[in-house]
Amino acid sequence: MNDFLMIHDVVIAGAGPVGLFLACELRLAGLSVLVLEQAEDPYSPLKRLPFGMRGLSAPTIEAFHRRGLLDDILAPQREKDQSTSAHWMQQSRRAGGHFAGIQFFHDTIDTSKWPYRLPGPAGSMAVEMEHLEFVLAARAGAMGVEIRRGLGVDGFEQSGQGVTVRAGGEIFRGRWLIGCDGGRSTVRRAGGFEFVGTDPEFTGYSAQVEMADSEKLVPGRHYTPTGMYTYQKPDTIAMVDFDGGAFHRTQPITPEHVQSVLRHISGADVTVTGLELATTWTDRAYQATAYRKGRVLLAGDAAHIHSPLGGQGLNLGLGDAMNLGWKLAATIRGDAPDGLLDSYICERHPVGAEILDWSRAQVALMRPSRSSRALETIIRDLIDTRDGATYFAERVWGVSLRYDLGGSHPLVGRSAPDFELANGTKLGDHLREGKGLLLDFDAGAPLQALAGRWKGITYVAGDARDRLGLSALLVRPDGFVAWAGEAVPDNEEAAQAASRWFGKA
């Protein structure tokens, strides 16, 4: 090991959205961060419309809001909405999302079932991957994160003190290494992480095609006896071919092949004359059994992969980053309470497992079989009921996310409501620095004193426009509620919660 090499606190493999956001989180906590990215060029047509669009769930939108990134990330979308007077505003029913292509609508959702959600930036929105990565890379760079492109991590060795990383013929040293290097993660493989799950049933295709006779296809999504296809005029096709995933990444995608699969699934005798852009994917659903080995961690697609159905992978990975950043930072600084870093896998592994099952359930509904069509009929009926739409919205928007943090109040473990304080600020504004927050609506001396006993808690006193029946709450740096007090707060319970998540001052 070369002792003259600079040692970074953290080396991150992969400058995808998860690696970049995590780098911002770690830098916000004052750590030195190096990101090594395999690709020379961050831009790609697959990261732009139509295939590069990604839906953002409520926890993701809240995370970006809490770090002051939301306006930059949503700027192009808002501009487009204004100039076109938003496509959804012109629709009679506004779609809120879908399950295996079966839509649920805003007008059916019963938001009164979510008593601790305040009107805020939440809901669901969409963003182009290229723009998202651009904003995150710009923020990371401005904060002092070093990003080196064209350097793919080839392997590493770890000791009790740190990790030596090999990338593109160069050597780098970090106290910790995080694999954010996507579904085919080198860090995961080199680190010997066990990766388990279910093998693919299909190859999925996203393609922009030239067709001689596109009028033979009916626009919209169609389940057929041989698979599923979606046609969006004039040239965008998505297809699912239940071939056991045999085609994916085994052969080049040619116009002839796309034509043959499209004919097979649609039953229409279309002629594909050219391919503008095409990619394939599968429903392989695998998850690492552990997200940490010594000083090496995994986050994002490196830790879990599943089909893009229902669009959850990016949100899952960004949730990992928001959960891990402050915990690893406290661990490296030496002020983490016992078990803080372990809580990363305890909290995030079950969330990942649930999303994998959500995607598997959609595959079950898409199979070209009579039983799947019967299941589709039932889901269509259910999704159009008030309870059904509310259930699907909770799952798809991430509203149901709750970590098991114990605690007596139903808000504990949930994302904190974006309270509007009397001075006009919102809870999210007070989380910009990535610190914990003790929000004291009654401005009582005992809680102020309590906040001072732990490192990294900002004490904010003042009434809120709507307190939701609370007198105070303790919020972790990731915006999740660690403790909530009603009329007469239990200060002992608050102190216990603080000691679980924060180091003693």
Ligand X SMILES: Cc1cc2nc3c(=O)[nH]c(=O)nc-3n(C[C@H](O)[C@H](O)[C@H](O)COP(=O)(O)OP(=O)(O)OC[C@H]3O[C@@H](n4cnc5c(N)ncnc54)[C@H](O)[C@@H]3O)c2cc1C
Residues that bind ligand X in the complex, under the rule CB under 6 A: 13-19, 36-39, 51, 54-55, 152-153, 180-182, 186, 206, 281, 300-301, 308, 311-315, 317
Give the residue at shortest CB distance from ligand X: 16
Taking CA atoms, 191 is separated from 156, 171, 184, 237, 396, in Å, by 8, 17, 13, 38, 32
Nearer residue to ligand X within complex by CB, 310 or 428 = 310
Tell me the closest approach of the beta carbon of residue 16 to ligand X, in angstroms: 2
Query: Measured in Å, how far apart are the chain's first and last C-alpha atoms?
Result: 36
- Burial grade of 85 (CB within 10 A; 0-12, 13-18, 19 or more): exposed
Q: Which amino acid, 354? A: E
- Choose between 186 and 323: whose C-beta lies nearer to ligand X: 186
CB atoms within 10 A of CB 268: 16
Kindly tell me which of 284 and 402 has the beta carbon lying closer to ligand X: 284
Mapped onto helix, strand or coil, the DSSP state of residue 428 is helix
The least distance separating ligand X from the CB of residue 300, rounded to whole angstroms, comes to 2
**For ligand X, which is the closer residue by CB, 19 or 191?**
19
Bridge partners of residue 480, in order along the sequence: 415
At its nearest, how many Å lie between ligand X and the CB of residue 494? Answer: 35
State in angstroms the smallest separation of the CB of 27 from ligand X. 17
Q: If you write DSSP's letter for every residue of 272-327 in order, what string do you get?
A: EEEEEEEEEEE--EEEES-SEETTEEE-GGGTEE---TTS-HHHHHHHHHHHHHHH
110's tokens: 């019963």
3-class state of residue 203 by DSSP: strand
Q: Where are the alpha helices (DSSP H) in 97-212?
A: 129-143, 186-190
- CB of 307: closest distance to ligand X in angstroms? 8
Q: How far is the CB of 113 from ligand X (least distance, A)?
A: 24
Contacts of 237 (CB under 8 A, 6+ apart): 205, 206, 207, 208, 209, 229, 230, 231, 258, 262
> Please, which residue, 153 or 262, has the CB nearer to ligand X?
153
Nearer to ligand X (CB atom), residue 306 or residue 500: 306
333/310 Cα distance (integer angstroms): 38
What are the residues whose beta carbons fall under 8 Å from the beta carbon of 58, sequence distance 6 or more?
Answer: 122, 123, 124, 397, 398, 399, 415
- Identity of the residue, 15 or 482, whose beta carbon is nearer to ligand X in the bound complex: 15
Query: Least distance to ligand X from the beta carbon of 498, Å?
Result: 32
Between 101 and 182, whose beta carbon lies closer to ligand X?
182
CA angle 221, 225, 231 (to 5 degrees): 20
Q: Nearest distance from residue 354's CB to ligand X, in Å?
A: 14
Closest separation between CB of residue 163 and ligand X, Å?
14
* Closer residue to ligand X, CB minimum distance, 296 or 314: 314
* Residue 245 backbone phi and psi in degrees, to 5: 75, 15
Give the SS3 label for residue 198.
strand
Question: Taking the complex as a whole, how short is the minimal distance between the CB of residue 148 and ligand X, in angstroms?
Answer: 9
Closer by beta carbon to ligand X, 12 or else 457: 12
